[in-house]
Chains A and B, each alone.
Chain A
């Protein structure tokens, strides 16, 4: 039997857009975050702004919570409806409404898949750089809500650096438009910058305008192998201090490399301690110069070998090695817990040493890979959610890792968001006054606390 509220909702937005059966509630109770799930009371697959408004007005009447969700690839629990209520799914709002090739911008609905956006703008010889790992699955709406990063973050920045304008629905169903296609726009408080990264707790995006840049003309890719992970970390510092910003600068440690070899087998030597995957792009002349300097930096820091990709195909193969990292790690144990601590780049060697010590101290397996070039590391714990005792040790290890990241001037989350999983570290990270300001802001937007409740702030603090 459908509950009365589901029947009313169906009448309001149309039956085909409302999901509420037991399997549907189950399948919208999670995202990609391990160990966290909670069922909603109903799901609305919105196809228009009108659907968003009607759903929000209905939720207001009924006093229900609302949680927005794209493809559900988040890694901090941001789209899990931990207080039940209604889940608004945006994946059906997936039109690219305008590519402005003259003014270099693109306007999209929130459900557009990031990789589809890449393909559409690259066909016009334009470039949208943010490339989160899940780009073939995740949506732009989710990218803006979480201020997602990616492999190209160090040179090109992250999602927030490209958001020009947003249409945002507030919890009462009112719509706010803020921003223009102008790169310079300082009218009042910059709501666009402000709402980006708000993790679905302040509003729901219905239209997003993003800045584009010309597509880089060429690129060159390197793979450097090391006998000591610290040498790899030093290479990163050396490249950056020689005033070169590669488009990609990725690191994989020995645990990760060996897992890649065990499960994928791409011919990496098993005795290497670390590898760096480096790419530089842009004007051919600049790429040539930078490539020489990068190779020099690798060799000066005792790289065992430095391989340069001959062509696009070989470059693709090298990237495959990096993309296989999480793949391979995920196959080792049932549960894979991936974090995203980020530290200033000089502190990478120390951060890596801390991760290794924590793994040893708590007898757990951690593989580390990540975007070393911007200090964003992914210590990935390979564990088993059925073993509560081990999960406890994992939590203790992460506590130490997060504490260290903060003490090094880094952050508890470089790109995944605070969500549920890092809410308990946020007070240590930003301090009580900042938490208080954030709560006042949240209160101004959502006084009843119905929009994506249970996120960012610890429950007892709300």
Chain B
């Protein structure tokens, strides 16, 4: 949790919170509609683990009725930021965003651990650098670096259960996708248009084959795909950890690399990236200098399913994939981007495929960025509930579209002996397209 916090400074910083930007904390009626939707309330069953409780705590700190103690700070980090509560809140209170704002004000007012600062401010900045730090994760344990890092009370990420982290990791590609694809990949056949492609860090570094499939589907659908060089992290990890300065630099950089590329949309196959890129219009929007550019950028951002549901023409034949599948909605897709139908529409178009809904109204899988590392036990309980809901569909394959969810579900499959497989939606779409072409 970092170092000792200055409770008074944090309380002061929270007191100036522009609460109107976050659906006004006063707007919370305390009606409790959020309770049954909140993963942490569902696992713990107590009010401090609920959205209603989090709003009450923030309000009490603002009003000076509750100190901004370590206990309070802990509660601000117990939230998964899944935003399920924002989907259902009758009064429109943006609890997830409010919690992130509180984290930001907390982090501004307490000393930052060295490795955390390094990761958020430096490593993440450049995917080439990040690639260098990612690959030797396994070495990390063997070299004795672990004890050194632990000694300095560095980021929880590093002091956490490495076995779990290693179990999460997919087989890593030898080189990131960004190093192996050209900046422009032409459309197959007649060009219908040009789209930009945003390379998320996790997709680029760990799931490069999936993103290769995504790009192949786009070109096969008649779009020339532009992948600007030197893209940076979308900033989700920074926002989640309360860091805003480097976030802004990276966001402005990402907006600039897509400028002048003459693309009608900026597509991403990572739900978390999509959600954050769409938020640039708000997070960058307060500075006149970049407000317009951010608005233009965000208005073009499309999740891959959102784009393909319209762009994948009827002229393109999809081949049969017999079997039963369900779709695990990444929170950043269903609650962050309010997208529910495009991914379902796409799956229903695949001949032979039976689609079933997971009967839990879009519950989080517990991955939530690094939550499964920082709050491992609760994350596993949330995952257990998710898996139980998945099992009710009798699906042979769980489809999703976010790398964090993908790894979390794979972990459940491998370690809990589940007989379903996990795929990104673009993996199954590419297979269907290939079969369609063969037929």
Which residues in A have some Cβ–Cβ distance to B below 8 Å? Answer: 19, 21-24, 26-28, 30-34, 45, 71-73, 89, 91-92, 113, 134, 136-138, 263, 326-327, 330-331, 334-336, 384-386
Q: Which residue of chain B has the shortest Cβ distance to A29 in the bound complex?
A: B56
5 chain-A/chain-B pairs, Cβ below 8 angstroms: A21-B48, A22-B71, A137-B32, A331-B92, A384-B26
Residues A334 and B26 in contact in the complex (CB < 8 Å), given A24-B47, A30-B56? yes
Residue of B35, B48, B72 near A137 (CB, 8 A) is B35
Contact B26 A385 (CB under 8 A): yes
- Name the residue of chain B whose CB is nearest to the CB of A71: B32
Partner of B47, one of A32, A72, A331, A384: A72
Chain A residues with CB below 8 A from B66, complex form: 22-23, 26
Whether B48 and A24, one on each chain, are in contact in the complex, defined by CB atoms closer than 8 angstroms, is: yes
Docked complex Cα distance between A128 and B14 (Å): 46
Is there a chain A Cβ closer than 8 Å to B412's Cβ? no
Of A23, A113, A384, A386, the contact of B36 (CB 8 Å cutoff): A113
Which parts of B20-42 form the interface with A (CB within 8 Å)?
Answer: 24, 26-27, 29-33, 35-36
How many inter-chain contacts with C-beta < 8 Å in the A-B complex?
A: 89
Q: With contacts A73-B31, A327-B91, A330-B31 known, what are 20 further pairs, Cβ within 8 A?
A: A19-B48, A21-B48, A21-B71, A23-B53, A23-B57, A23-B72, A26-B56, A26-B60, A28-B47, A31-B30, A32-B32, A34-B29, A92-B45, A134-B31, A134-B32, A137-B35, A326-B90, A331-B92, A334-B27, A335-B26
Chain B residues near A72: list those with CB within 8 A.
30, 32, 47
* Interface presence of B137 (CB below 8 A): no
Is the C-beta of B149 less than 8 angstroms from some C-beta in chain A?
A: no
Residue pair B92, A136 in contact (C-beta under 8 Å): no
Complexed CA–CA distance, A359 and B75 (Å): 41
Contact status of A263 and B32, CB under 8 A, knowing A72-B47, A331-B27, A334-B24? no
Is B30 in contact with A32, judged by CB distance below 8 angstroms?
yes
What total of chain B residues lie within 8 Å of the partner, measured CB to CB? Answer: 30
**Out of B46, B48, B90, which one reaches A327, CB within 8 Å?**
B90
- Residues in A neighbouring B56, C-beta threshold 8 A: 26-27, 30
Among the listed A19, A33, A263, which residue makes an inter-chain contact with B92, where contact means beta carbons less than 8 Å apart?
A: A263
Hey, which chain B residues are within 8 Å of A45, CB to CB?
45-46
Check B32 against A330 for contact (C-beta < 8 Å).
Answer: no
Which residue from B45, B72, B90 sits with its C-beta under 8 Å from A330?
A: B90
Chain B residue at smallest Cβ distance from A138 = B32
CA distance A138 to B75 in the complex (A): 24
Contacts of A23 on B, CB cut-off 8 Å? 48, 53, 57, 66, 71-72, 75
Highest count of chain A CB atoms <10 Å: which of B32, B65, B72 = B32
List of A residues within 8 angstroms of B35 by Cβ: 71, 137
Query: Shortest distance in angstroms between B18's beta carbon and chain A's nearest beta carbon?
Result: 15
CA distance A234 to B367 in the complex (A): 55
Nearest CB of chain A from residue B27's CB, rounded to whole Å:
6
> Assuming A24-B47, A26-B56, A27-B57, is B26 touching A137 (CB within 8 A)?
no
A324 to chain B: closest residue by CB: B90
Q: Which residue of A lies closest to B49 (CB)?
A: A27
B69 interface hit (Cβ, 8 Å): yes
Q: How far is the CB of B363 from chain A (nearest CB, A)?
A: 14
Closest 7 CB pairs of A and B: A27-B47, A334-B26, A327-B90, A27-B53, A330-B91, A137-B32, A73-B32
Residues in B whose Cβ lies below 8 Å from that of A71: 32, 35
B40-86 interface (Cβ within 8 A of A): 45-48, 50, 52-53, 56-57, 60, 65-67, 69, 71-72, 75
Instruction: Using A27-B53, A330-B90 as known contacts, say yes or no to A136 and B36 having CB atoms under 8 A apart.
Output: yes
**With contacts A26-B65, A137-B36 known, is A331 near B46, CB below 8 A?**
no
Chain B residues whose CB sits within 8 angstroms of the CB of A31 once the complex forms:
30
- Across the interface, which residues of A come within 8 angstroms of B71, CB to CB? 21-23
Residues of A contacting B31 in the complex (Cβ-Cβ under 8 angstroms):
32, 73, 134, 137, 330
**A91 vs B47: C-alpha distance when bound (angstroms):** 11
A28 to B45, CA, bound (A): 13
Nearest B residue to A331 via CB reads B92
Contacting residues, chain A, for B33 (C-beta < 8 A) = 134, 136-137
A61 to B201, CA, bound (A): 61
Min CB gap B293→A, angstroms: 30
CB distance from B52 to the nearest CB of A (A): 8
Inter-subunit contact B29/A32 (CB<8 Å): yes
- Chain A residues contacting B47 (CB-CB under 8 Å) are 24, 27-28, 72
B36 touches A26 (CB 8 A): no
Q: Is the CB of B46 within 8 A of A330?
A: no
Per the bound structure, the CA–CA distance linking A30 and B291 in Å amounts to 41
Contacts of B53 in A (CB 8 A): 23, 27
A331, B91: Cβ atoms closer than 8 Å: yes
Residues of chain B lying within 8 A (CB to CB) of residue A331: 27, 90-92
Q: Which residue of B lies closest to A28 (CB)?
A: B47
Minimum CB–CB distance from A394 to chain B (whole Å) comes to 15
Q: How far is the CB of A108 from chain B (nearest CB, A)?
A: 17
The docked-state distance in angstroms from the alpha carbon of A34 to that of B91 is 14
- Nearest-neighbour CB distance to chain B for A217, whole angstroms, equals 25
Residue of B31, B45, B52 with highest tally of chain A CB at under 10 A: B31
Chain A proximity of B378: nearest CB distance (Å): 15
Decide if A336 touches B92 in the complex (CB within 8 Å).
Answer: no
B78 to chain A, nearest CB (A): 10
Kindly report which residue of chain B lies nearest to residue A111, judged by CB atoms.
Answer: B45
Give the shortest distance, in Å, between B49 (CB) and chain A (any CB): 9
Residues of B within 8 A of A73 (CB): 31-32
Whole-angstrom CA separation of A134 from B33 in the bound complex: 7
A263 to B23, CA, bound (A): 13
Q: Smallest Cβ distance from A288 to chain B, in angstroms? A: 33
CB of B26 within 8 A of CB of A386, answer yes
CA distance A113 to B92 in the complex (A): 24
The answer on a CB contact under 8 Å between B46 and A19 is: yes
